[in-house]
């Protein structure tokens, strides 16, 4: 009898002790917000274009954390899908149909002499990248524009173009070297290889 | 000579240095054009301070430093600035960057220049600025501005100054030759640097493959006051790399991601030392440098002192290049230099070697075999990396892993690629990976930035929303409070006039009214008392006075409140309307009373008449106020309608008074005389009102003040009609029973609209219409057209989408049709405008289209003539006059046409 | 003027994978000569047969993978694989043993893993281990060194044509038994209740024949030194491997000299030398950094001793190498060199998952 009592007491004591410990840990080490959502959000390109069907990148991140598909972000391209697959430890799926795997970076450009200053584009831009006032011509701050496309549709005179981002000296970079002999095929002749090898 | 240390790895490529050391340094010829890049190093490009067409002298500043990491750029020979434009610069990409192009005049005329008498007397900061002004930048690797390095003494303790005379790369002998010939100047430069940095220790590091240079240096050092160590190390590549050099000389490693100054070491190139000497002692800016020209494609390899900006072509020519044999042109050494795509590239401050190699000398790399993990690369890597692992990671794009394997400690020395038996272009892999990582990081930064902005915007929108909500609530609350207050006041309205602390217009009005009523009652009482001769008149009189005062006070308060509540009070047209109506009613009543009195011949006709007049005026006033409020015109503005009414009523009155007068005369009334006077007065009034009106009307027509109001009225009415019609339409569609009623309402509204329109037209609106038409704004029209076009486009896509099965096709189609019609309208308007413009032009006998074409042709002709002239200037400078004339004529013609054209197309 | 654009460096050391492999082949020659000298034509025939097979097979696979044949064959790696396998097979191994071995080495151990540079296991050793497990009889029938045949002074080996017939026709005359026998390792293992001392005296292969093994080992050692001299391999793996083997053997020998063979024996018989200089140093499957190579070598040395002492197979080099191949990636992660400017070396594989 005594032994049983002691055992029960001991177990109960342990339970209380661990309960307290856990409770303490939960308070002490509580993580603010949902770190997974933050991580996912960190991988999304922050274009805020809404092409995923959510009003911005963060809502989509929340949706992914909630189990939505990871292949709905066209601006991110396949690399984003892969990064997400990596993070969430799921199979990397191809992008949704119709999207390019490696989208070209775009930036909005307003043909200023055609702009009638209706401010519609300002209201559409999710990152406040457009400058202007009513009846004044508007312009896009290139460095802030994420190329989300959202300002193109509302413009009543269609004076906004999406142009590929200019690349210059500062962002020139070396290519990945041409694949070596592993990727050669039978039809490659020695001469061609010599000339073509970089 | 001191002992030295060693670094891991290194390779021993064939040196190939003998070819270019046979001859002393030659002065390179002055090229026809100098192309001087504005940016010759990392950091901001310099800002040009000359203009195209300026004549510049040798040594003149042509671009000034911008920011901290930047130095001045100088002209390296005299001549005329031909262009400031992007030109190919020495960069692997072969891309272009802004350059100043100088057409030299062969005079090589110096600007005034003089060295410092005694640099020691200058403040250090000034001396460094002096060096910066003379454009001195590192002449070894990256061309880092030297002054930045010299400033390091300010916030770092510099123990050791190391002079880099290694020149470990094969082929290059520029520093070797420089030391052989100018050792004293180098040491003098070192003295200046030592003066600035105050190091404990100065070391010149060199390799044991330059015995002549070593001897020259030793001799120069012996002559110097400074205690300089010369350390010669066995030749191994890449001992000239800054980090490797430091390890060799001191045994210390520069911590990853830090600069040598962090461990108290500053490295400088010997070439830089000489440039500093030239600048400080002779005032010569950095406008030339020693360049090694070597390679098997040259028949005459040697070192040359070349001006910055000299195209490679000139130097290659001087070294007798065999064009057909030239296969690969490298700027810099064979290990770390980069290929340039052609020979129009200019020499810059870091061009130490131009290597013109034949295909046998530097054959293209054979295709890479797979890495066999032989580890040779690892054995030679001076940074002690695992090149093969880095290669795997770069190839597999596992950049994160590459970074963790210290990819960014790779100095891209090329030793690993050099030994790799599989011919893997390892360095390119690393460059690729580094660039990708940097790009990724930049992207990440941008994304974070975008996120922040997005969130900020979101927050702002929310805040605005919340504020709006708050304001709405506040308004609702206030309204409720007001209601309560009003009720409260209604209950205790007697005290209101005294206690009304708040400017409640309505309450005040009530108070004023109450006060007036009381006053009237008291007045009546007083009158009857007077009539009856009762006692206590004094008391009554006092009361009346008091009441009068109160009433006046209440009235004043009311007026003030109304003024205070500006917009509400002023724009309360309903109230005004009521007031006007009341005034009119009163007027009518008074008129009736007058009539009666006249009819019966009783009462004080004069008094009555006066009252009527007063009331008329009041009514007119009220009407005016009302109308002013309605049209938004300030009450001070001339109100024609009001005036007209006043005039009309005056006319009526005159008429009536005349009648009354006639009656009275007929009746033989005693008051005839008085009445006659009254009629005359009225007539006068009428006349004045009439003239007032006329004046106002004229004014109105000329400045359109009232017209606008009328127009606004009319437009409002038309709007209302439209809305009502739309409502009616929907009602009809829905089969609503109220449709009939609504139709009636619409008719009524239409009538009103018609009225308003008539009024407007009557007031001279027709002319306005004509005017408006003349004033058609082409821009607005164009905008209208493009808006319509856009809408149409959108509708079209909607239709397409609908056809594709999404959405309601009918709806989309009808919308589309509607828009098409609208677009057509807009387009027509625009076309009409254009046609009008054309007509206008045609009226003057000019076809606008033809004119446009002519103008364009004329412009083209000018351009052509200009070009021909330019060409002619180059080829046959004597026969220019005729061409210039032709050009002038063409220009004139173009100018004329342009002017004509601009008359029609503003 | 349009000149070529390439990344630096623009110079290249005149050496290629093919050169490296040719040097390896060259370094094997003394060993091959010694084998032929002491054990007859068998090894030479095997080696040639293996190379023939391997080159043909490689060409076929490369064709199937639609790649240019000449590039692949020019790297000579398959020749080295075949050479190493041929050298480690018993001299009278029948032709189909070699065939199976080459098939395994080239198809399974090499190309199925993606070809040169991608294979985690040394192909020759994979083949050898598989053969040993599958055909223990053929694989353990070693040849007597010629000194044990007939009178000790003449070069008394099986004639070339007979050897060919033995290998290719399965012709097994009774007298063949005279030419075959156990290896010293086998002799030592199956010495019954004898102490090592007694075994040394009683077993002819130990008493008289051991010299042949020493000679072959010496030949491999020479080849190895040549490779180190030519910087084809570094000294780390062989030194660590031989050192570890010697140390552990010494410890046990000192502890009980009657039951355990002396370290010299371990180092000089069997495939130790071939393994140390030619197999364990195979760059593809070995650890990467110098420190890693040392650990890799030590591992092999210890495993050889353990497997020889307590395992059931005649030799242990193949298994030891394969086991350490398995461990190489792990070793790599923990033996990264300390990079210039860093206080300490990285450990483990960061930046992965
Ligand atoms: S400017 Fe246009 S494309 Fe650029 S971020 Fe704003 S809405 Fe998107
Ligand atoms: S939407 Fe178009 S027209 Fe309107 S302000 Fe923006 S750019 Fe101008
Ligand atoms: S030298 Fe070349 S083949 Fe050898 S390990 Fe390095 S990258 Fe691989
Ligand atoms: S290029 Fe980089 S990895 Fe290659 S040897 Fe030089 S420092 Fe090492």
Distance, in Å, from the CA atom of B729 to the CA atom of C249, rounded to the nearest integer, reads 108
Q: Which two tokens mark B527?
A: 């009158």
Of C286, C290, C350, the CB nearest to B404: C350
What is the ipTM for the molecules in this complex? 0.78
**Model pLDDT, residue B705:** 45
- Longest CA–CA span in chain A (Å) reads 96
Distance, in Å, from the CA atom of A53 to the CA atom of A96, rounded to the nearest integer, reads 12
B423 CB within 8 Å of a chain A CB: yes
Mean pLDDT of A75-83: 82
List, in order, residues 6 or more apart from C50 with CB less than 8 Å away: C82, C83, C85, C86, C89, C98, C101, C102
Residue-by-residue DSSP string for B17-55: -GGGSSSPPEEPPPPSEEEEES--SSSPPPEE-S-TT-E
Checking if the pLDDT of B588 tops 90, the result is no
Binning pLDDT at 50, 70 and 90, where does residue B90 land? confident
**Model pLDDT, residue C225:** 93
Binning pLDDT at 50, 70 and 90, where does residue B646 land? low
**Model pLDDT, residue B661:** 65
Distance, in Å, from the CA atom of C12 to the CA atom of B906, rounded to the nearest integer, reads 68
CB atoms within 10 A of CB C279: 25
State which ligand 4 atom lies nearest to the alpha carbon of B380. Answer: 5
Chain C residue set in contact with A, beta carbons under 8 Å: 5-7, 63, 66-72, 115, 353
Distance, in Å, from the CA atom of C327 to the CA atom of C310, rounded to the nearest integer, reads 21
In tens, the pLDDT along B275-297 reads 999 999 998 998 889 999 998 88
Distance, in Å, from the CA atom of A35 to the CA atom of C191, rounded to the nearest integer, reads 67
Give the residue, B456 or C344, on which the prediction is more confident. Answer: B456
Range with the lowest mean pLDDT among B46-60, B265-279, B354-368, B756-770? B756-770
What number of residues does chain A have? Answer: 198
Q: Chain A neighbours among B 380-419 (CB < 8 Å)? A: 394-395
Q: Are C132 and C169 in contact (CB under 8 A)?
A: no
Checking if the pLDDT of A181 tops 50, the result is yes
Taking CB atoms and an 8 Å cutoff, what residues of chain A touch C7?
A: 174, 177, 198
Nearest-Cα distance to chain C for A168, in Å, is 18
B427 CB within 8 Å of a chain C CB: yes
Q: Is the CB of B864 under 6 A from ligand 3?
A: no
Taking CB atoms and an 8 Å cutoff, what residues of chain B touch C234?
A: 375, 379
Q: Is the CB of A116 under 6 A from ligand 1?
A: no
**Model pLDDT, residue C48:** 92
Q: Report which of B157, B179, B178, B175 is spatially closest to residue B167, judged by C-alpha positions.
A: B175
A197 CB within 8 Å of a chain B CB: yes
Please name the residue whose Cα sits nearest to atom 2 of ligand 1: A151
**Model pLDDT, residue B471:** 92
**Model pLDDT, residue B606:** 65
Mean pLDDT of B225-242: 87
- Ligand 1 midpoint to CA A118 (Å): 16
Q: Are B830 and B785 in contact (CB under 8 A)?
A: yes
In tens, the pLDDT along B432-441 reads 898 888 888 8
A129 CB within 8 Å of a chain B CB: yes
A155 CB within 8 Å of a chain B CB: yes
B365 CB within 8 Å of a chain C CB: yes
Q: Is the CB of A150 under 6 A from ligand 1?
A: yes
Q: Report which of C263, C254, C328 is spatially closest to residue C297, judged by C-alpha positions.
A: C328
Checking if the pLDDT of B532 tops 70, the result is no
Taking CB atoms and an 8 Å cutoff, what residues of chain B touch A142?
A: none
Nearest-Cα distance to chain B for C348, in Å, is 10
With a pLDDT cut of 90, the percent of chain A lying above it is 5
Residue-by-residue DSSP string for B145-203: BHHHHHTHHHHS---EEEEEE---SSS--HHHHHHHHHHHHHHHHHHHHHHHH--SEEE
B811-B816-B819 Cα angle (round to 5): 125
**Model pLDDT, residue A122:** 87
HSE-up of residue B260 (Cα within 13 Å, Cβ side): 22
- pLDDT < 70 positions in chain C: 1-2, 147-156, 173-179, 192-193, 207, 348-353
Mean pLDDT of B49-69: 87
- Ligand 2 midpoint to CA B439 (Å): 32
Please, what is the average pLDDT of chain B? 76
Pairwise CB contact (< 8 Å): A177 & B428: yes
Distance, in Å, from the CA atom of C302 to the CA atom of C250, rounded to the nearest integer, reads 12
B368 CB within 8 Å of a chain A CB: yes
- Ligand 3 midpoint to CA B169 (Å): 22
Pairwise CB contact (< 8 Å): C20 & B374: yes
Taking CB atoms and an 8 Å cutoff, what residues of chain C touch A185?
A: 66-68
Which amino acids bring their CB within 6 angstroms of ligand 2?
A 110, 115-121, 132, 138, 154-157, 159-160
Q: Chain B neighbours among C 69-98 (CB < 8 Å)? A: 71, 75, 77
**Model pLDDT, residue B849:** 57
Please name the residue whose Cα sits nearest to atom 2 of ligand 2: A155
**Model pLDDT, residue B261:** 83
Checking if the pLDDT of B636 tops 60, the result is no
Range with the lowest mean pLDDT among A128-142, A179-193, B192-206? A179-193
Q: Is the CB of B416 under 6 A from ligand 4?
A: yes
Q: Report which of C281, C285, C286 is spatially closest to residue C113, judged by C-alpha positions.
A: C285
Q: Which ligand is nearest to the CA of A145?
A: 1
Range with the lowest mean pLDDT among A116-120, B319-323, B471-475, B661-665? B661-665
Pairwise CB contact (< 8 Å): C5 & B92: yes
**Model pLDDT, residue C25:** 92
Checking if the pLDDT of A36 tops 90, the result is no
Please name the residue whose Cα sits nearest to atom 2 of ligand 3: B420
Pairwise CB contact (< 8 Å): A198 & C67: no
CB atoms within 10 A of CB A192: 11
> What is the DSSP-derived secondary structure letter of residue B423?
-
Nearest-Cα distance to chain A for C342, in Å, is 27
B553-B559-B563 Cα angle (round to 5): 145
Mutate to test the interface with C, among B246, B372, B420 (most CBs of C within 10 A): B372
Of A46, A48, A156, the CB nearest to B790: A156
State which ligand 1 atom lies nearest to the alpha carbon of A147. Answer: 3
Distance, in Å, from the CA atom of C7 to the CA atom of B40, rounded to the nearest integer, reads 20
Taking CB atoms and an 8 Å cutoff, what residues of chain B touch A180?
A: 367-370, 422-424
**Model pLDDT, residue C303:** 92
Q: Report which of B72, B77, B79, B34 is spatially closest to residue B53, judged by C-alpha positions.
A: B79
Give the residue, C249 or B757, on which the prediction is more confident. Answer: C249
**Model pLDDT, residue B902:** 66
In tens, the pLDDT along B775-794 reads 556 666 667 777 777 777 77
**Model pLDDT, residue B469:** 92
Q: Is the CB of A124 under 6 A from ligand 1?
A: yes
Of C7, C117, C118, the CB nearest to B425: C7
Please name the residue whose Cα sits nearest to atom 3 of ligand 3: B371
Q: Is the CB of B387 under 6 A from ligand 3?
A: yes
Size of interface B-C (CB pairs under 8 A): 188
CB atoms within 10 A of CB C112: 12
Binning pLDDT at 50, 70 and 90, where does residue B767 land? very low
Binning pLDDT at 50, 70 and 90, where does residue B239 land? confident
Q: Give the phi and the psi of residue B139 in degrees, each rounded to 5.
A: -105, 10
**Model pLDDT, residue C295:** 93
Taking CB atoms and an 8 Å cutoff, what residues of chain A touch B95?
A: 168-169, 172
In tens, the pLDDT along B678-701 reads 666 667 766 776 776 666 665 545
Q: Return the residue of B nearest to A114 by Cα.
A: B783
In tens, the pLDDT along A9-28 reads 999 999 999 888 888 887 77
Pairwise CB contact (< 8 Å): B454 & A116: no
With a pLDDT cut of 90, the percent of chain B lying above it is 6
Find how far residue B161's CA is from the centre of its chain: 47
Taking CB atoms and an 8 Å cutoff, what residues of chain C touch B341?
A: 1-3, 5
Q: Report which of B433, B431, B424, B425 is spatially closest to residue B399, judged by C-alpha positions.
A: B433
Checking if the pLDDT of A144 tops 90, the result is no
Please name the residue whose Cα sits nearest to atom 7 of ligand 4: B410
Pairwise CB contact (< 8 Å): B422 & C11: no
Q: Is the CB of B382 under 6 A from ligand 4?
A: yes
Checking if the pLDDT of B632 tops 60, the result is no
Beta bridge mates, B145: B137
Of B253, B328, B388, the CB nearest to C4: B328
Size of interface A-B (CB pairs under 8 A): 114
Distance, in Å, from the CA atom of C234 to the CA atom of B333, rounded to the nearest integer, reads 30
Q: Give the phi and the psi of residue B102 in degrees, each rounded to 5.
A: -115, 125
Highest mean predicted confidence (pLDDT) among A182-186, B566-570, B696-700, C42-46: C42-46
Beta bridge mates, B164: B205, B269
Checking if the pLDDT of B363 tops 80, the result is yes
- The pick from A75, A105, A108 for probing ligand 1's pocket by mutation, whose C-beta has the most ligand atoms within 8 angstroms, reads A108
Distance, in Å, from the CA atom of C322 to the CA atom of C324, rounded to the nearest integer, reads 5
Binning pLDDT at 50, 70 and 90, where does residue B814 land? confident
Q: Are B42 and B142 in contact (CB under 8 A)?
A: yes
Residue-by-residue DSSP string for A41-104: HHHS------TTSSSSHHHHHHHHHTT--S---TTTHHHHHHHHHHHHT-PPPPPPTT--SSPP
**Model pLDDT, residue A132:** 81
Distance, in Å, from the CA atom of B253 to the CA atom of B249, rounded to the nearest integer, reads 10
C6 CB within 8 Å of a chain B CB: yes
């Amino acid at each position: 009898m005594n032994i049983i009592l002691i055992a029960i007491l001991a177990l109960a004591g342990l339970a209380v002790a661990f309960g307290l410990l856990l409770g303490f840990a939960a308070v002490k080490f509580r993580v603010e917000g949902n770190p997974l959502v933050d991580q996912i959000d960190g991988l999304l390109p922050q274009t805020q274009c809404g092409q995923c069907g959510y009003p911005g990148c963060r809502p989509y991140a929340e949706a992914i954390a909630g189990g939505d598909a990871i292949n709905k972000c066209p601006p991110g391209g396949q690399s984003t899908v892969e990064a997400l697959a990596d993070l969430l430890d799921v199979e990397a799926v191809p992008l949704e149909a119709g999207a390019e795997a490696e989208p070209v970076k775009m930036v909005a450009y307003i043909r200023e002499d055609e702009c009638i200053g209706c401010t519609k584009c300002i209201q559409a831009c999710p990152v406040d990248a457009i400058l202007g006032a009513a009846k004044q011509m508007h312009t896009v701050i290139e460095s802030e524009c994420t190329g989300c496309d959202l300002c193109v549709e509302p413009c009543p005179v269609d004076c906004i173009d999406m142009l590929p981002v200019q690349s210059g000296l500062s962002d020139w970079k070396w290519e990945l070297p041409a694949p070596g002999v592993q990727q050669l095929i039978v039809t490659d002749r020695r001469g061609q290889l010599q000339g073509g090898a970089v | 000579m001191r002992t030295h240390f060693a670094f891991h790895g290194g390779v021993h490529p064939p040196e190939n240095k003998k070819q270019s050391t046979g001859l002393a340094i030659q002065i390179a010829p002055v090229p026809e054009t100098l192309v001087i890049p504005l940016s010759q190093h990392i950091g901001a490009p310099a800002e040009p301070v000359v203009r195209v067409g300026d004549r510049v002298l040798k040594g003149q500043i042509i671009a000034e430093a911008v920011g901290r990491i930047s130095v001045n750029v100088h002209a390296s020979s005299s001549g005329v600035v031909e262009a400031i434009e992007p030109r190919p610069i020495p960069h692997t990409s072969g891309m272009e960057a802004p350059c100043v192009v100088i057409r030299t005049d062969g005079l090589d005329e110096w600007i005034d220049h003089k060295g410092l008498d005694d640099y020691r007397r200058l403040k250090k900061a000034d001396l460094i600025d002096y060096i910066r002004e003379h454009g001195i930048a590192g002449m070894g690797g990256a061309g880092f501005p030297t002054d930045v390095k010299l400033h390091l003494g300010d916030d770092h303790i510099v123990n050791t100054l190391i002079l880099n005379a290694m020149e470990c790369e094969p082929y290059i002998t520029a520093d070797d030759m420089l030391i052989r010939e100018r050792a004293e100047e180098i040491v003098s430069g070192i003295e200046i640097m030592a003066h600035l940095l105050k190091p404990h220790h100065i070391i010149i590091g060199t390799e044991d493959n330059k015995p002549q240079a070593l001897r020259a240096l030793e001799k120069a050092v012996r002559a110097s006051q400074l205690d300089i160590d010369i350390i010669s190390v066995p030749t191994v590549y890449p001992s000239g790399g800054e980090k490797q050099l430091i390890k060799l000389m001191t045994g210390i490693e520069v911590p990853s991601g830090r600069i040598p100054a962090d461990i108290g070491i500053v490295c400088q190139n010997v070439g830089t030392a000489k440039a500093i000497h030239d600048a400080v002692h002779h005032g010569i800016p950095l406008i030339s440098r020693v360049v090694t020209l070597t390679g098997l494609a040259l028949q005459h390899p040697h070192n040359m002192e070349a001006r910055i900006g000299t195209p490679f072509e000139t130097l290659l020519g001087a070294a007798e290049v065999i064009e057909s044999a030239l296969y690969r042109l490298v700027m810099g050494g064979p290990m770390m230099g980069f290929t340039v795509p052609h020979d129009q590239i200019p020499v810059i401050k870091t061009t130490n070697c131009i290597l013109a190699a034949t295909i046998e000398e530097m054959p293209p790399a054979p295709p890479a075999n797979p890495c066999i993990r032989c580890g040779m690369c690892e054995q030679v890597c001076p940074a002690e990396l695992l090149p093969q692992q880095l290669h795997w990671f770069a190839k597999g794009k596992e950049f994160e892993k590459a970074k963790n394997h210290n990819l960014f400690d790779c100095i891209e020395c090329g030793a690993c690629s050099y030994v790799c038996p599989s011919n893997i272009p390892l360095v390119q892999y690393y460059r690729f990976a580094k660039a990708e990582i940097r790009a990724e990081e930049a992207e990440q930064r941008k994304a974070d930035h975008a996120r922040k902005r997005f969130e900020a915007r979101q927050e702002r929108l929310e805040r605005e929303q919340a504020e709006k909500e708050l304001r709405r609530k506040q308004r609702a609350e206030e309204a409720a409070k007001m209601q309560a207050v009003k009720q409260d006041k209604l209950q205790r309205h007697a005290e209101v006039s005294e206690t009304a602390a708040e400017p409640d217009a309505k309450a005040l009005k009530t108070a004023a009214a109450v006060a007036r009523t009381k006053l009237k009652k008291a007045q009546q009482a007083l009158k009857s008392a007077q009539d009856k001769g009762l006692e206590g008149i004094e008391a009554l009189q006092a009361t009346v006075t008091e009441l009068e005062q109160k009433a006046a006070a209440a009235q004043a308060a009311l007026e003030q409140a109304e003024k205070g509540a500006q917009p509400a009070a002023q724009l309360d047209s309903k109230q005004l309307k009521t007031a006007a109506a009341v005034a009119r009613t009163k007027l009518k009543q008074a008129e009736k009373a007058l009539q009666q009195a006249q009819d019966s011949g009783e009462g004080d006709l004069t008094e009555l008449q006066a009252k009527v007049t007063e009331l008329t005026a009041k009514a007119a006033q009220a009407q005016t106020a009302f109308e002013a409020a309605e049209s938004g015109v300030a009450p001070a503005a001339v109100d024609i309608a009001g005036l007209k009414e006043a005039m009309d009523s005056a006319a009526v009155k005159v008429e009536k008074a005349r009648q009354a007068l006639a009656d009275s005369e007929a009746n033989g009334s005693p008051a005839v005389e008085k009445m006659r006077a009254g009629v005359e007065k009225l007539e006068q009034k009428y006349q004045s009102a009439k003239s007032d009106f006329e004046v106002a009307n004229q004014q109105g027509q000329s400045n359109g003040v009232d017209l606008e109001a009328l127009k606004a009225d009319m437009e409002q009415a038309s709007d209302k009609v439209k809305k009502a019609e739309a409502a009616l339409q929907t009602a009809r569609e829905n089969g609503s029973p109220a449709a009939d009623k609504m139709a009636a309402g619409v008719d009524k509204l239409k009538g009103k609209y018609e009225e308003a329109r008539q009024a407007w037209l009557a007031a001279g609106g027709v002319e306005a219409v004509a005017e408006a038409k003349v004033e058609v704004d082409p821009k607005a029209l164009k905008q209208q057209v493009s808006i319509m076009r856009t809408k149409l486009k959108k509708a079209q896509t909607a239709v397409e989408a609908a056809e594709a099965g999404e959405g309601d096709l009918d709806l989309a189609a009808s919308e589309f049709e509607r828009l098409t019609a609208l677009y057509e309208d807009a387009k027509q308007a625009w076309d009409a405008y254009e046609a009008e413009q054309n007509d206008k032009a045609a009226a003057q006998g000019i076809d606008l289209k033809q004119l446009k074409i002519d103008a364009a042709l004329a412009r083209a002709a000018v351009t052509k003539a200009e070009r021909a002239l330019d060409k002619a200037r180059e080829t046959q400078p004597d026969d220019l006059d005729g061409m210039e004339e032709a050009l002038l004529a063409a220009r004139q013609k173009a100018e004329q046409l342009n002017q004509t054209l601009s008359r029609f197309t503003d | 003027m349009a000149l070529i654009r390439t990344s630096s460096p623009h110079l290249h050391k005149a050496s290629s994978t093919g050169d490296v492999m040719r040097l390896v082949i060259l370094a094997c020659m003394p060993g091959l000569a010694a084998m032929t000298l002491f054990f007859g034509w068998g090894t030479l025939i095997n080696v040639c047969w293996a190379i023939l097979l391997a080159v043909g097979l490689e060409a076929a696979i490369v064709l199937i993978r639609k790649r240019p044949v000449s590039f692949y064959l020019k790297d000579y790696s398959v020749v080295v694989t075949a050479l190493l396998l041929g050298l480690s097979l018993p001299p009278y191994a029948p032709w189909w043993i070699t065939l199976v071995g080459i098939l395994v080495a080239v198809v399974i151990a090499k190309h199925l893993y993606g070809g040169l540079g991608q294979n985690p296991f040394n192909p020759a050793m994979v083949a050898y281990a598989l053969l040993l497990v599958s055909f223990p009889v053929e694989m353990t029938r070693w040849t007597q060194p010629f000194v044990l045949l007939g009178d000790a002074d003449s070069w008394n080996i099986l004639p070339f044509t007979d050897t060919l017939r033995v290998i290719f026709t399965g012709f097994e005359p009774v007298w063949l038994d005279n030419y075959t026998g156990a290896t010293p390792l086998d002799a030592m293992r199956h010495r019954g209740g004898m102490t090592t001392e007694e075994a040394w005296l009683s077993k002819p292969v130990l008493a008289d024949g051991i010299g042949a093994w020493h000679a072959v080992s010496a030949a491999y050692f020479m080849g190895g030194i040549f490779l180190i001299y030519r910087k084809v391999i570094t000294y780390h793996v062989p030194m660590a491997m031989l050192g570890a083997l010697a140390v552990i053997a010494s410890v046990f020998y000192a502890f009980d000299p009657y039951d355990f063979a002396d370290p010299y024996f371990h180092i000089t018989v069997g495939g130790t030398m071939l393994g140390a200089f030619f197999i364990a140093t195979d760059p593809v499957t070995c650890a990467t950094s110098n420190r890693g190579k040392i650990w890799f070598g030590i591992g092999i040395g210890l495993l050889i001793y353990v497997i020889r002492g307590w395992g059931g197979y005649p030799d242990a080099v193949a298994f030891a190498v394969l086991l350490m191949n398995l461990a190489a990636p792990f070793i790599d992660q923990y033996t990264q060199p300390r990079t210039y400017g860093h206080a300490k070396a990285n450990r483990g594989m960061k930046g992965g998952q």
